[in-house]
A and B are shown apart, each in its own frame.
Chain A
């Protein structure tokens, strides 16, 4: 069974640009969550999607957005990039319909903003 796949793995952008990251969950998983990981801050929750609907959202500015498609694949977008957006962005999927059960993480997309 294939794991969570994230693309691209690495990318470099400049301030002001926008970026789209993609996540393919484990087959059959309908819940996809996104996290931002930076040194010292740990994993910060961005948002969670279930059956194409955003169920929950963390405390990030509106420049961070996402969506989920009918096949459960998800994308997140960051517009007007800032230096502080440099981070590892992790996607996690879960088979649970309610908020229970473990999350399965992808290896992340490492974004560097210059």
Chain B
């Protein structure tokens, strides 16, 4: 089965950096995804890691360590529109399992 843990809430100031950690235990591993979900909207894809290391995409970066069962999503130069829930998801052999999500609030 899957066990995916991430913090419930984080607050940061506009222009700052926030790091959202995700730890997982899985019986099989075929990649880790990060999704963003604004209130009342559908989750949208942010990043995908299947090999160890850092993937950078603009202001967002995601890191994976398979041996440690650990990933983080780094949000740089925070903007008000980044206030949302961030979902860590792990794919095993047959499904994509999600963590409960981290609500990030960006303050002016």
- In the bound complex, do residue B45 and residue A103 qualify as a contact, i.e. CB atoms below 8 Å apart? yes
- In the bound complex, do residue B98 and residue A99 qualify as a contact, i.e. CB atoms below 8 Å apart? no
Question: What 1/0 flags go to B88-106 for Cβ under 8 Å of A?
Answer: 0101011111111100000
Q: How many residues of A contact B (CB 8 A)?
A: 24
Contacts of A56 on B, CB cut-off 8 Å?
A: 94-95
Question: What 1/0 flags go to A85-114 for Cβ under 8 Å of B?
Answer: 000001000000001101111111000000
- In the complex, what's the smallest C-beta–C-beta distance from A94 to chain B, in angstroms? 9
| B64 on interface, CB distance cutoff 8 Å | no
Contacts of B93 on A, CB cut-off 8 Å?
A: 99
Residue on B nearest A41 in the bound complex, by CB = B100
Contacts of A107 on B, CB cut-off 8 Å?
A: 41-42
Contacts of A4 on B, CB cut-off 8 Å?
A: 42
- In the complex, what's the smallest C-beta–C-beta distance from A23 to chain B, in angstroms? 12
B→A interface (CB under 8 Å): 30-31, 33, 35, 41-45, 48, 87, 89, 91, 93-101
